[in-house]
Amino acid sequence: MHRITVVGGGFAGLTAAITAAEAGAKVTVYEAHHTLGGRARTAEGPYRTNEGPHTLYSGGPHWAWLKQRNLIGPLAPVPPLEAARLRLRHHGVLRRTPPFAMLKLLRRSARQAPVDSDFLSWATEEAGEEGARAAAHYSAVALFHHDPGALSAAFVQERLRRAAKLPPEAHYPRGGWATVVDRMAARAWNLGVRLETLSRVDILPTDTPVVVATSLEAARGLLGDGSLTWTGGRTALIDLAVRSRRGDAFAVSDLDAPGRLERFTAQDRTLAPAGEQLIQGQIPIAPHESRADGVARAEHLLDLAFEGWRERVTWRRESVANGRTGAVDLPGTSWRDRPAIDRGGGVYLAGDQVAAPGVLSEVSFNSALTAVSLALGRNALDLKRA
C-alpha cells in the first residue's frame, strides 16, 4: 500500500487526501491550525463569515467532483427579488446595468484575448477605454488585484466571462464554506485518512511522498526554496453586521475602481442572528496603500448602497489579505509559468498559486489532483473518475 503525507488541511490538502485515499493510499494530513479548512474556514459564532467572499463556481472540474461525492450539500440560492438589487457603481452613481461598451467584451463572439498583452490595452482596442476600464474593475471579484487592467489579457478575460456569466456560475453553500470542509473531512476520515490538527511540520518526512498544500509563502520556508514566488493580490476585507432594513442592495460591484460588497444574508439567513444582515466586502489595494485606504473606499460604497448603515452596525471587523488571494498572471505568463507542482525528491505542491489551470478554488483542486497522480504514478483523469 502506498503511503502519502499531506501538509496542510485546507481545500487543496483535503482534496489531495481524499483522492489519494480513494486510490488505496494510506494518508496522513498535518494541519497547524486547530481546525481544518485553511482559507475555506467559516468563523464560529453568531456571524458566520468566510475569509473574504467565497463562492463555488459550477463551471469548473471541482464542482462535478464534489457533487459526485455528495460533498457540496445544500445551497443557498439568491431569491429573484434580491438578485434584482445588484448594483454597479459607474461614474460615481449606482446603476442597474453596465455600460454598453463593457457588454461588447462579454459577447461569445468576442475574439480570444492574447496572453502577451495587458488586458486594458487589448480591451480598449476591442471596446474603447470606458468599457475596458469598467470590465477590468468588474473582474476584480475573481482576481482580488488592485490593477486588473495590467494583467494578462487572456487571464482576465477568462475570469471576466466566468464572473459575468448568466445564469451565474457562483453558488453559495448554506452555512458557509465550513459545511463543505466538514463534509470533506468526514469523507477523508471514512476513507481511513489520519487527520492531525495542531500539528505544525517544520521538516518534511523522507519516507513517503509529500504533498505540500500550504500557501506559497509557507511552502517557500518549509522547502527552503526561494524560487517559490508568484504575483498575488492584496486586499482590504471588511465584515459588517447591520440591523435589517428593506431596500438594501444585494451586492455592489465598483466599475470605477476594483472592489465589491455583498450582503450574504440575502441568500443565507443562517449567517447572522435574526434581524441582522451580514455584509462582506473586498477592496484590492496597491502595495503602497494601507488597510485604511481600502476601508475608506468600502465605506463609500456602503454610503451609496446601504442607507444609514453607520447607525445600524452591530458588529464590525477589518483585515488585510496579503498574498493570500491566489495567483495572478502578468502579461506574457500563464499558469504554466507558475511554480511547478513536482519539486523533485517525492515532494509536490498544491494550492492556488502553483502551475495548474482554473479560476479561484479550481486551481487548488487541479493542482491537488495532479500532485497525487504524480505521487502515485497514476493518471490524473483516472483519479478524478475514481
* pLDDT tens sequence across 25-37: 999 999 999 999 9
Q: In this structure, how many other beta carbons lie within 10 angstroms of the beta carbon of residue 241?
A: 21
Q: What is the CATH number of the domain that holds 354?
A: 3.50.50.60
Count the domains in the chain.
Answer: 1
Indicate whether 29 belongs to any domain: yes
Strands (E), 147-222: 170-171, 194-196, 210-212
User: 238 CB contacts (<8 Å, ≥6 apart)?
Assistant: 279, 280, 281, 283, 294, 295, 298, 316, 317, 318
Indicate whether 366 belongs to any domain: yes
Q: CA-CA distance, 15 to 17, in Å (whole number)?
A: 5
**Which range of residues forms the domain containing residue 65?**
3-73+174-230+331-385
**Amino acid identity for residue 136 in this structure:** A
Indicate whether 315 belongs to any domain: no
For 21, the 3-state DSSP assignment is: helix
With beta carbons less than 8 A apart as the criterion, state whether 351 and 219 touch.
yes
Indicate whether 346 belongs to any domain: yes
Indicate whether 54 belongs to any domain: yes
Per-position pLDDT tens, the chain of length 386: 689 999 999 999 999 999 999 999 999 999 999 999 988 888 888 999 887 657 888 988 999 999 999 999 999 999 999 999 999 999 999 999 999 999 999 887 778 999 999 999 999 999 999 999 999 999 998 888 999 999 999 999 999 999 999 888 989 999 988 899 999 999 999 999 999 999 999 999 999 999 999 999 999 999 999 999 999 889 999 999 999 999 999 999 999 999 999 999 999 999 999 999 999 999 999 999 999 999 999 999 999 999 999 999 999 999 998 876 688 999 999 999 999 999 999 999 999 999 999 988 899 999 999 999 999 986 554 565 55
pLDDT at 121: 97
Nearest alpha carbon to residue 176 among 270, 279, 66, 283: 270
Q: CA-CA distance, 342 to 338, in Å (whole number)?
A: 12
Indicate whether 235 belongs to any domain: no
Q: How far is CA 206 from the centre of its chain?
A: 32
Q: CA-CA distance, 232 to 321, in Å (whole number)?
A: 10
Indicate whether 347 belongs to any domain: yes
